[in-house]
Amino acid sequence: MAMMFPFTLPTATAFYLVLYLGTLVLHVAFMAYVLAGSAYLATIAVWQREDRDDPFAGMLRSWLPFMLGVAITAGVAPLLFVQILYRTQFYTANLLLFHRWMAVLPMLLVGFYLLYLSKTRWAEQRPRWVAAAIAVPTAACFGFVAWSWTENHLLSLQGQDVWTEQYLSDSLVFSSAEVAPRLAMWCCGTLPLLSLWLSWQLWWPLRGGAQREVPGTGRAAVIGLSGLLGAVACGGLYWLAMPAAHRDVLTSAAVVPYGVIVACSVAGQIVVWWQQSRKRELCPKRLTLLSCLVLLMLLGVAALRESLRVASLDMPALAERHQRATAVGGFGVFVTFLVLNLLGIVWCLRTVIRAGGRGNLEATAQANPTR
What mean pLDDT comes out for the span 166-195?
Answer: 92
Kindly indicate the confidence band of residue 370, based on its pLDDT and cuts at 50, 70 and 90.
very low
Kindly indicate the confidence band of residue 254, based on its pLDDT and cuts at 50, 70 and 90.
confident
Phi, psi for 213 (deg, rounded to 5): -65, 140
pLDDT at 208: 61
d(CA 266, CA 271): 9
Give the dihedral of Cα atoms 248, 178, 310, 166; nearest 10 deg. Answer: 130
Q: What is the DSSP string of 124-177?
A: HTS-HHHHHHHHHHHHHHHHHHHHHHHHHHHHHTS-HHHHHHHHHHT-SS---T
Percentage of the chain surpassing pLDDT 70? 87
**Among 234, 222, 236, 237, CA closest to 191:** 222
Burial of 189 (0-12, 13-18, 19+ CB in 10 A): buried
Mean model confidence pLDDT for the chain = 85
d(CA 188, CA 39): 11
d(CA 30, CA 72): 9
Residues 6+ apart with CB under 8 A from 144: 103, 104, 107
d(CA 178, CA 238): 6
Kindly indicate the confidence band of residue 32, based on its pLDDT and cuts at 50, 70 and 90.
very high
pLDDT at 334: 73
Specify the DSSP class assigned to residue 119. Answer: T
pLDDT, tens digit, 9 for 90 and up, residues 198-235: 999 888 777 665 555 677 888 899 999 999 999 999 99
pLDDT at 367: 39
Angle ∠(275,31,55) on CA atoms, nearest 5: 45
pLDDT, tens digit, 9 for 90 and up, residues 138-150: 999 999 999 999 9
d(CA 221, CA 238): 25
pLDDT, tens digit, 9 for 90 and up, residues 351-361: 766 765 444 44
pLDDT of 267 over the 90 cut: yes
CB distance 163 to 176 below 8 Å? no
pLDDT at 329: 65
d(CA 368, CA 275): 22
SS3 state of residue 93 = helix
Bridge-partner residues for 213, per DSSP? 281
